[in-house]
Amino acid sequence: MTRLTEEAVKDIPSKISCLDHELEKRLGMDLRNFACYAMNVSADDIDFSSYKAAIVPVTSGKGIIGGFSRSVAAAVETMGIRSSVTEACDVAGISEAFSSDADIIFMADDERFIALNKRTGSFSDNIWSTAKGYVTALKIAEGGLEGKKVLVIGAGRVGTEAVKMIMEEKACADVTDILPHKASALESRYAGVKAIRDVEQAIKDNRLILNASPGKIPGTLIREGAVISSPGVPYAFDDEGEKRAKVIIHDVLSLGVAVMTVASLSLSLFNVPAADVVAEKVIP
Ligand code: 2YC
């Protein structure tokens, strides 16, 4: 999982509303409606203004990323949920959030980034939510994935979840990874998945791409009219790639955060996991 940097997130709070408009322009939905669409719930069924979110900075492992918590808060706030960053970090921050009127508590260490719903005792996960968001974005941009082939670049945690979701869309996936055994592991696990070693040829051969890798992708490899959904950080594409592609959907944090927010809420809404929400009960 690529760790975000202070540089990568520093502009999010000031740019979040134009990102929201950008998404509306590209996919016809703002962040809140997109996340509801991805989670298969109606935005009208969720009273976003009745919720409150607390983001807890976590100092474990490689420590705090300057601006990360504020960026998460900005994305959640854009969806109409009052959000704030706790004063304290770590366990003190979690107890501060629990004793406040916050309903959803966001926290991320180097391994996991979750949104815990205090009302239902369930939580959603950023890796799953990011994959869900970017597969949904690809599906909207392409007008459906059924019967089509998608090239997934990167068989890490997001890429792996994305492959599962692409199969659920009755599409098939070619997967490539800098570590070939990771792509072949997916090939042996899922019918309809093919591991590809020659990534350059694969990019040239495929019009639909989900890029979940941190590598740069030379625009000269991109097919004219390619539809690209790219959760990978840092941003992979150059001017040539942007010229050739029909659309490239990319952002650093907000799409995954928006989907994980609705994923954590939709459990409380139905009191049972929504069809495909991957969330584990924390408190039975
Ligand atoms: O500031 C903090 O609280 C840090 N503990 C946050 C660490 C986040 C590490 N994860 C990442 O950088 C990203 C996440 C957006 C999800 C995947 N990688």
Residue pLDDT, tens place only, 79-104: 999 999 999 999 999 999 999 999 99
The pLDDT, as a whole number, for residue 271 is 34
The pLDDT, as a whole number, for residue 267 is 61
The pLDDT, as a whole number, for residue 122 is 87
Nearest CA-CA partner of 55 in 12, 108, 2 = 108
Instruction: Decide: residue 131, CB within 10 A, 0-12 exposed, 13-18 middle, 19+ buried.
Output: buried
pLDDT in tens, 139-178: 999 999 999 999 999 999 999 999 999 999 999 999 999 9
Virtual CA dihedral for 76, 78, 80, 82, nearest 10 degrees?
50
Angle at 256 between CA 125 and CA 253, to 5 degrees: 120
The pLDDT, as a whole number, for residue 276 is 41
| Beta bridge partner(s), residue 174 | 151, 194
DSSP E strand stretches across the chain:
52-56, 82-85, 104-108, 113-117, 122-125, 149-153, 172-176, 193-195, 208-211, 227-229, 247-249
Phi and psi, residue 87, nearest 5°? -65, -45
For residue 109, how far is its CA from the centre of ligand 1 (angstroms)? 6
Q: With a cut of 50, which residues of the chain have pLDDT below it?
A: 268-284
**Residues contacting ligand 1 via CB (< 6 Å):** 1-4, 57-58, 64-65, 68-69, 108-110, 113, 126, 253
For residue 205, how far is its CA from the centre of ligand 1 (angstroms)? 34
For residue 4, how far is its CA from the centre of ligand 1 (angstroms)? 6
